[in-house]
Amino acid sequence: MMKPCPPIVCPPIYEYNDCYVCREVPIIQPVVRVNRQFIVNVPRYVMQPETKNVTVDPGCPGGNC
Tell me, what's the pLDDT at 63?
Answer: 67
* The model's pTM: 0.32
Cβ–Cβ under 8 Å, residues 65 and 57: no
Residue-wise pLDDT for 5-54, tens only, equals 899 999 999 999 999 999 999 999 999 999 999 999 999 999 999 999 99
**Inter-CA distances, 47 with 50, 51, 54, Å:** 9, 13, 21
**Inter-CA distances, 51 with 46, 48, 54, 58, Å:** 16, 10, 10, 22
